[in-house]
Amino acid sequence: MPICRVVRITCHKQEDWTGQDHPYITINGKRVWGPKGMRDGQTREIQSDYQFPRRAKIRLYEQDDYEPNDFLGEHEVTRADIGKGEQEFTFAEDDANYSIWIEVFAAPGR
């Protein structure tokens, strides 16, 4: 199975008006990172790898304590992304603006 590396995340514009955002990332419906506190202009290195069968659906959410979590966007990568290097994807739903860098690799030993 190919590997999806989540390289880093940058918060260009928070979703919440007060306090920090608490973004988290899911791949194919499974939470793989976060929530972690982030502010405007902040970048966090992630560097985590996830195997996926045919396609990896990457979603970004912003966690809220007293209301439903906010959906900030979705992108999909497939085998066709192998060898393209780090790709920047924008997640800008709900008036927020985040970038997540993703790199797709062939599984080792195949």
Alpha-carbon gap, residue 68 to 83, rounded angstroms: 37
Report the residue number, 36 or 64, with the smaller CB distance to Ca ion.
Answer: 64
Q: Which of 16, 28, 42, 99 binds Ca ion (CB under 5 A)?
A: 16
Reduce the DSSP state of residue 56 to 3 states and report it: strand
Stretch that binds Ca ion, among 10-18, 28-36, 41-49, 82-90 (CB under 5 A): 10-18
DSSP state, 14? -
Q: Which of 27, 59, 61, 62 binds Ca ion (CB under 5 A)?
A: 62
Q: For residue 6, give Cα distances in angstroms to 1, 17, 28.
A: 16, 27, 13
User: Dihedral of the CA atoms 30, 35, 41, 42 (nearest 10)?
Assistant: -100
Query: Does the footprint of Ca ion cover residue 93 (CB under 5 A)?
Result: no
Least distance in angstroms from the C-beta of 58 to Ca ion: 19
Task: Give ∠ CA 53-50-71 in degrees, rounded to 5.
Answer: 90
x/- map, 26-55, Ca ion, by CB under 5 A: ------------------------------
Least distance in angstroms from the C-beta of 93 to Ca ion: 11
